[in-house]
Amino acid sequence: MILRRAVARLYWTVSRWKYRSESVPEASGIMVAAPHTSNWDFVLMVAVAWRNGLTLRFLGKRELFAGPMGPLMRAFGGIPVDRRDPAGLVEELIERHHDGESFHLVITPEGTRGPVDRWKSGFYRIARATDLPVTLAYVDRTTGTTGLGPTFRLSGDVRADMDRIRAFYTGMVGVRPANTGRVALAEEADAPSAPDGFQQ
């Protein structure tokens, strides 16, 4: 952990990106990372987490962990996922939490680096099923900043929760602005349209 903090301090010293955060979550939770438009997003999220002494976990296809990259992916916090058994993932996360493991599961809700019309709802379902709080992490090329936004528990009112999330991300664009998409879930009734970037 000391080494990670040292690496993070060095990174933020030389990086063109500025670190800004509203607060740092203390307990385990789900970290929503958006807008996701570039492979650099992963580097920035790791740097943010290491700066704050947070342990990141991320999800990956089970097959990726069977090859030579498996040990490296686990070392960086990877959790193999069997897409045929989504309930098993939720049970594992609950077990990790109850066993006292402190971690933040980082999820890029777009599911791709390209522009999308809708976010995938996996982060929402996992957060509700595990009762873990959600932290809104961000990358904003407009201001050249990245960091952590508010942390809160989802209410179960999808539209109200997404309105709160949209309000935070409004006006932000990713490392590659053209790839920035909309903040919306298919589960919302009458989801608002957004012509450009993360706007309502």
In a domain, 159, yes or no: yes
**0.85 exceeded by pTM:** no
- Residues 31-36 have a mean pLDDT of 95
What are the pLDDT digits (tens) for 95-136?
887 888 888 999 999 988 888 999 988 899 889 988 899 999
The answer to the question of residue 75 being in a domain is yes
Tell which wins on pLDDT, 15 or 84: 15
d(CA 63, CA 154): 31
State how far the Cα of 15 lies from the Cα of 2, in Å rounded to an integer: 20
Instruction: Give Cα 144 to chain centroid, integer Å.
Output: 18
The pLDDT of residue 15? 93
* DSSP label at residue 99: T
What integer pLDDT is reported at residue 199 of this predicted model? 40
pLDDT band at 197 (very low <50, low <70, confident <90, very high): very low
Residue 83 lies in a domain: yes
Other Cβ atoms closer than 10 A to 184 = 20
Beta strand 56-61 pairing with 104-107: parallel
User: What pLDDT is stored for residue 189 in this prediction?
Assistant: 64
Q: For position 158, what pLDDT does the model report?
A: 93
**Does any domain span residue 191?**
no
The distance between the two most distant Cα atoms of the chain, rounded to a whole number of Å, is 48
196 falls in which pLDDT band (50, 70, 90)? Answer: very low
The pLDDT of residue 82: 77
Does residue 39 belong to any structural domain of this protein? yes
Task: Map tokens 């959600």 to a residue.
Answer: 134
More confident residue, 113 or 61: 113
Q: Judge whether 120 lies within some domain.
A: yes
Within-domain flag for 188:
no
Q: Which of 91, 27, 83 lies closest to 59, judged by CA?
A: 83
Which stretches of the chain are DSSP H helices?
2-14, 40-51, 70-75, 86-98, 122-130, 158-169
Structural domain contains residue 40: yes
**Domain limits at 57?**
2-179
3-state secondary structure 58-89: EEEEHHHHCCCCHHHHHHCCEEEECCCCHHHH
What's the confidence (pLDDT) of residue 12? Answer: 92
Question: How many domains in the chain?
Answer: 1
Which residue do the tokens 């993360």 mark?
198
